Amino acid sequence: MASQEHFTEQSLTEHLRELRACLLVSLGAVAAGFAAAYSVVEPLAAWFLRPLLKVLPEGTPLIFTAYQEGFFFI
């Protein structure tokens, strides 16, 4: 017969301790991902906007008419 695993019951505080640990790891991963993405946003935006900036007249800035338009440069 195959061996059966016996799961022990955890108390509420043990569950909460495990949840806290998982949340902290998740928060750390999100913070690391945000930092990595924030560090490459300008070179990435420059790469995507290069064709548009080439056809703009000399000295003309890129203007967004709504605040959120700056995030949709693709």
Q: pLDDT tier at 51 (50, 70, 90 boundaries)?
A: confident
| Residue 25 shares a structural domain with residue 53 | no
- pLDDT at residue number 5: 52
Residue with the bigger pLDDT between 1 and 27: it is 27
In the predicted structure, residue 1 carries a pLDDT above the cut 60: no
- pLDDT at residue number 27: 98
Separation of alpha carbons 3 and 58, rounded Å: 75
Burial per residue of 36-53, b for 16 or more beta-carbon CB atoms within 10 angstroms, e otherwise: eeeeeeeeeeeeeeeeee
Separation of alpha carbons 21 and 24, rounded Å: 5
| Residue 35 shares a structural domain with residue 63 | no
| Residue 48 shares a structural domain with residue 74 | yes
Parent domain of 26: 9-39
pLDDT digits 0-9 by tens, 12-42: 898 999 999 999 999 999 999 999 998 998 8
pTM for the model: 0.56
